[in-house]
Amino acid sequence: MQSKKLRLRVTLTVGLPGSVGEFAWGGAYHTVYWVDPAEDLLVVYMTQLLPARDIDDAQKLRALIYQALN
């Protein structure tokens, strides 16, 4: 028997580019995905970077995507 835990982020108020109701998950090695149902958007960003302490490439990608939508 295996037990796996999944921590999911759900946006309740907008502070970053995105929409209320968006959900996301960050995985090992700086992998990120998010779904924004309001924008009909799904993003999967795969990297292999560990540690990724001061890297903000996922936030830059997020900003670029939402700028392109608007």
- Assign 6 a pLDDT band (cuts: 50, 70, 90): low
What is the structure's pLDDT at 3?
Answer: 46
Structure tokens at 69: 């939508």
**pLDDT at residue 44, as a whole number:** 95
Give every CB contact of residue 46 below 8 A, 6+ residues apart in sequence: 31
pLDDT per residue over 7-66, tens digit each? 777 777 777 788 888 888 888 888 888 999 999 999 999 988 788 778 888 889 999 999
Q: How many C-beta atoms lie closer than 10 Å to residue 53's C-beta?
A: 7
Closest CA to 68 of 15, 26, 9, 17: 17
- pLDDT (0 to 100) of residue 36: 92
